[in-house]
Amino acid sequence: WLAQGVSKDISETNIIYFGLKNTILSLDDFIGGLLRHGIRMLKIKDKIRAITHKDISYDQINFAIKAINEVFIFLYHIVCISR
């Protein structure tokens, strides 16, 4: 589910913006779920901004990717059950 449509032609940076397409999940709920995993991201309009820095390891990046997937799946199931 993660990273569908990510362009390989992007320049090297420590900032990524992404959104939730084709879903009824709210960005605020998604960001709140990430925060429960200790991951802080910022909502800017209809996008989420994630930033890393030189002290973030590949293991921490992989932890964040796993948490993003877990939060998305958890919230998706909650929303579907409540409908």
Both tokens of 37, joined, read 């995993």
Question: pLDDT grade, residue 14 (50/70/90)?
Answer: confident
- Predicted local distance difference test score (pLDDT) of residue 43: 95
- Predicted local distance difference test score (pLDDT) of residue 47: 92
- Predicted local distance difference test score (pLDDT) of residue 1: 45
pTM (2 decimals)?
A: 0.74
Both tokens of 31, joined, read 């960001």
Q: At what angle do helices 27-35 and 58-82 cross, to 10 degrees?
A: 130
CB 48 within 8 A of CB 27: yes
pLDDT higher than 90, residue 81? no
Task: Read off the pLDDT of residues 56-69 as tens digits, 9 standing for 90 and up.
Answer: 888 998 999 999 99
